[in-house]
Amino acid sequence: MTDFTPTEMMTIAAARALKNDDVCFVGIGAPSAACNLARLTHAPQITLIYESGTLQTRPNVLPLSIGDGELCDTALTTVSVPEMFRYWLQGGRITIGFLGGAQIDRFANLNTTVVGSYDAPKVRLPGGGGAPEIATNCGEIFITMAQSPRSFVAGLPFVTSMGHGRTGRERRDMGIKTKGPTRLITDLCVFEPDPETKEMSVVSIHPGVTREKIQENTGWPVRYAAEVVATPAPTAQELEVLRDIQARTKKAHGGSQ
C-alpha cells in the first residue's frame, strides 16, 4: 500500500464523489483541492465555480482565496457577484456545493460564526460569507472537515449554514427543495444522512481507522449505516496528481501553502 496522510485520504475520497457533468460551487482549501483533483483525473469536464464569479475555472495552482488572480486568469468568463448568486446559485444551476466549517453537529449543520456565547464569544470566527446561501440553493452539499471532538460537537452555539436542521426535520418543514448535505467526508471516514432521521451515519471507513477512533473524535454517539464498507486506499495516480498540484501551489505562493 502506498503511504498517504489522513488529509490526502480525505481529499481523494471527496474528489471521487464528483462526476464529469457536475457543476460545483467550490470553497477554498480542502474543497478546492478535491474539486481540482477530480478535474485533473476522472472528471476533466467538471465545471468549477468560485464565489468571486469565475465560471469554468481551471487553475494551474490552488487559489489562496476567492480573490486569487489565478481563478480569473483561468476561467472561461467572470461575472459579477450579484449575478453569481442570483442567476447561477439561486437559479438552481449548481449541482454540488462544497462546504467546510469550524464546527458541525450530527445533522450536518455548520458553525463558522462564534465559539461560545454569541454576545461574548470565546472565539469569533470569519462568519458565513456565501455559505448559508450555498447550503440551501445548491442541489446537494458535500462537506469536508478534519474530525476531532472540538469540531464534531453535540450542540452548536450558532448555526451559520443549515444542514438538516436542529432535529433533522427543519429543512423539509421549511419547504427547502434541495437535498442539503448528502456526504460528509473526513480524514477518518465518510458519513451520509440516514434516509429517515437525516442523522449523519458512517458508510465508509478509511484504511487503518477503527470505529473506536471515529468515536473518540466525535462529540455525539456515532451511528453506522446497515452496510459499512472500507474506503479504497488512494491510487498511485491520485496521489501523484494531488501532490503535484500542491507542490506547484507551494512554489507559486512562496511556501505559503
Active site residues: 51
Contact residues for 192 (Cβ-Cβ < 8 A; gap 6+): 182, 183, 184, 200, 201, 203, 225
Place of cell 511556501: 255
132: left (phi over 0), alpha (psi -120 to 50) or beta: alpha
Is residue 193 within 8 A of residue 182, CB to CB? The reply is yes
Pairing of strands 54-55, 121-124: unpaired
In whole angstroms, what is the distance from residue 171 CA to residue 184 CA? Answer: 17
Cell of 123: 472565539
Q: Which of 170, 188, 32, 16 is nearest to 97 (CA)?
A: 32
Tell whether the torsion through CA atoms of 79, 81, 143 and 96 is positive or negative. negative
Q: How many residues does the chain have?
A: 257
Start-to-end CA distance of the chain, whole Å, equals: 27
Q: Are strands 103-104 and 110-111 parallel, antiparallel or unpaired?
A: antiparallel
Please state the separation of Cα 9 from the chain's center in Å. 14
Helix (H/G/I), strand (E/B), else coil: 252: helix
